[in-house]
Amino acid sequence: MLDAAFFVRWMTAAAAVIDREADRLTELDSPIGDADHGRNMQRGFAAVVTALEAEPPATPGAALIAAGRKLISSVGGASGPLYGTLLRRAGKVFGEAPQVSAEELRAGLGAGADAVAQLGGSAPGDKTMLDALVPGIEALATSFDAAATAAEKGALATVPMLARKGRASYLGERSIGHQDPGATSSALLFAALAEVAK
């Protein structure tokens, strides 16, 4: 069972891996976006860690709702609302439960991904964060490591895709051949999750 401390560790690990990979995320965002994804995510997750340390959450739901709220208020562009929606919706699914199972985590993140799809008007195959999120969430049924692997494969699979949503979609055919930065940062979340679950 996963308690509030586990989710704080997850967000802390996510902040660390995003901090390490910020330059790569920005590099991926340069040809098909605003070249700010790495910096935005870095700033947002650093703010999440600060907020969770200042006011430790009592439940898993409270941890993700607080993290989502902080991302929405501190990250520019589309990333803040999308990641914030993912985490807040998952947190709401958890409710006041003091602990959640891996299966409940999968259900919560699944609801979060559905909310992201609705907010962005996107679906898997559109070259967005959903291309890593959805396979990662599905693979949680097997293990945390399987989820990290599936999300990473999902991010890599965006390279040959034509972007149909988001900033990259403005480029049309020129979006082909580039890895989606949002899918890449989503895969990093699953990498951090697998790390703290060890």
Q: What is the pLDDT of residues 96-120, one digit of tens each?
A: 999 999 999 999 999 999 999 999 9
CB 141 within 8 A of CB 193: no
Torsion sign (Cα): 60, 61, 62, 66: positive
Q: Can you read off the two tokens belonging to residue 195?
A: 């790390």
Average pLDDT for the chain: 96
Closest CA to 108 of 78, 76, 185, 99: 99
